Chain A
Amino acid sequence: MSVLRPRTLSARYARTAYLFLLPAILFFAAFFYLPIGNVVSTSLMTGPSADRFAGLGNYTQALADPAVRHSFLVTGGFALIVVAGSIVLGLGLAMALDQPLRGRVAFRVMLLVPYLTSVAIVGLLWRNILDPELGVLNRTLAALGLPEQQWLNTSPLLTIAAVTLWQSVGYTMVLFLAGLQGIPETFHEAAKIDGADAWHRFWRITLPLLAPTTLFVSVMAVISGLQAFGQAYIITNGGPGDATDLSVFHIFNVAFRARDFGYASAQSVLLLIVIVAFTLVQLRAGRRGEVQY
């Protein structure tokens, strides 16, 4: 029996590894790295077929364009509401569920159900519910003699953010629930013996020890909030006026309705930079705030 020499053996393993990796390398090259390169190069082009070199023209134009700046502001506000809501409501529900209650599993299932719905369902269903004339909410309020709501006109951004939270808060609740269950009971017991009340235990034990979960939830909520699309496309069509002109919706319209791929690509790159910057800042802040007990 021949003894295999290690050098040929490791070379053989490397060959096997690359053989198994080949489809993945081709896939990520063709559908991730090539498109990223292309979005950057297209962002330097102008014209209806994006074939005239414009240098940084699209970027300077975008940064000076009131419509683009407005869409970034709207998107930032939307993401901010979604992040705050995800943390406050998600943590609140998780803490309520993290008690020895009957029917916990049933509550968890019900709270998580909207998370399974497509943004198409979220959008269409809530557009129907909130519709000023045909909506079930106003028809019910009118029948009860109560004042009717015009939320999609009076506070459209807050309303579509609330609808987004309706869908996503079950997900953040489950994340917080997992985080809460990872905090050893002994910390709470020790604090109780030392005379700390529930309020102090929440601020001094629960919240600091949940920091990694909170960080993860806020990073995920910012990333998904900044790229929301369906809510604007389905519920408000960006309106009233341009009050809910979310960035990706704006980019979609520039690309596929106005057919300006160069300008839309530049805006995509700008939004990506914003998202990456936010993520890095959050991770930094999160690391500084980390505690060990």
Chain B
Amino acid sequence: MEACCDHKQDKTSSGLKKVVIVGSPNVGKSLLFNHFTGRYVTVANYPGTTVEVSRGKAKIDGVSFEVIDTPGIYSFSPLTEEEGVARRILFKEKPSLVIHLVDAKNLERLLPLTLQLIEAAFPTILVLNMMDEARRLRIGIHQKALTQDLGIPVLETVLTTGEGLKELKTAVRHLTGLEAESPSLRGTTVNYDGRAPVSLEGALARIGESLAGEYPISKRSLSLLLLKGDEEVRSLVKKQEPLVLEIAEALASELKNHLQAPLEFEIASSLKRRAARISENVCRTKKRSWRSDVRSGRWGEFLSRLTMNPLTGFPILFFVLYGGLYQFVGVFGAGTVVDFLEGTVFEGFLNPFFVKVFSRILPWPLLQDLFVGEYGMLTLGVRYAVALILPIVTFYFAVFAVIEDTGYLPRLAMLLDRTFKKIGLSGRAVIPMVLGFGCDTMATMVTRTLPTVRERIISTLLLSLAIPCSAQLGVIFAVLAGHDRALLLWAFVVGLVFLFIGFLTAQILPGERPSFYMELPPLRWPKISHVLTKTYVRVKWYFTEVLPLFIVASALIWLGQLTGLFGFLIRGLAVPVRAIGLPAEAASIFLMGFFRRDYGAAGLYDLVSKGRLDGVQMLVACVALTLFLPCIAQFLMNVKERGWKTGVGISIFILFFSFGFAFVLNQILVRLGAVL
């Protein structure tokens, strides 16, 4: 009976068949995933949000499947670490069905990936999404002809309205029941000998014949990737059959001698020619309407141009920052809402209640302190998390979700690319940077979407150093409220540090210069349901990560106080703190700041409420805290994403830089006799 299970490799350990969704960015993969699983994952309107792979369970007609969402890919040869993840999923997960989701109006440009998936022998179906837009542009697609040309099932959907979803589910249910080798799922092959003077097909056949090992993709596809010199596939073959690798390398260099263009280009050209032929055969563009040149309606296109023109784009950016960030998050979220929660709910009601309860059930003052003391888990930990951080973070993520859902971020990226090039980054890094204003830890994770290691290191450093998270920002806005000059100076100084350190790092770090390319999806009205769910998912992520750390930090500080370690560290920190012109008691802010960056900022807020700092001191403290060591969560993320050396190195640099810089700033301000 054991043998019968051998062919069931396509099942997971949970016994479920796997359905993998692939496609380029902005085609609705996450949306489809949510339709299938009912569990929400971020729906992105810009390339590369699906950083972590989402898995979910779907049930169709009583049969359960595991559905896997993948990062956007344009082709079978990955350009970024993230795209590499998408391909690795295909290689490793042994999918029972691969759904290639495409934007119907761009069928011709996206078909090469379908052809590559078919070539790799994945059981693939093609789903033409956004059929409503295609219809509006009067593009008709002959579904049956396309099915025939490709040799795989083709379906049409409008995922935003749910059109075609029922048929898709039925198809998934039906097709996963079939064996992968059955004729109904064997697709077309592309001939690569098109215009090339030497036979690529001959080389493919020779490698294919020599391959004898077990591989996740077809021999033809494997041979092609070997010829292209794909690193991952090479090491895969090297492990099993080093001789074949040598054959492939010899053939590749022979081909290179005879071909004018790189192999990559020849292969892509063949795929494109095939895609163009298919598209010509199946697509009918009906009589064009007056707006046939405009892809997303006149107003959308007009507004899109305005956001991209530097003359209007920068004022729009300023308006977004001022209205969204300063007024909504800063003044309303961090001001009005926090005041209510802090002052009325906690100080007025909850804290006295906690103190009363705990002094009754815990007769020992020492233990009482742990829960309801000055740094108590409830009176400080929970209060900071719920009354201060939660509203600010929620407001920020709501604004971010609106901006993200409209498709504004890629436009911001193109607007800032030139500036970012000066600091060794490309416009692509704008997205993690903007997200960093919400949560630097989350943003550090998103740096995976950047194509080179160099860009990832620079952006990790800049996020840790000079991008304040929303919690910090909120507190800084609150602290500096009414000191407009100090606030402007703070923004200027931190911005200067961002550019200066970025510029220096770019000079020091070796590596290739980044190049920038990004798809600009049509601008659209944000959908309230998208915004709400995106905000909810991010706030939930943030909160489940933060709340335990707040409580642990409170407990650690209590322990530190009990053993005298806390006092010792604060006395040690008091030296640099006094050196930058702050009262010694501010030292505890910096120590807490390491446990939570925002925690420290909140401590500062308390100190200011007591009226202990003047304008210059407030500014210096805000600058130092902005630049100071990232919170413990971000430190761990830096280490996880960039490795020990870089993670620790960044922290040590920041420790010295933040105090050094604050010292110089304070000296300058004091010497100038500045009053802020």
Real complex partners, A and B? no
Q: Which residues of B contact A (CB under 8 A)?
A: none
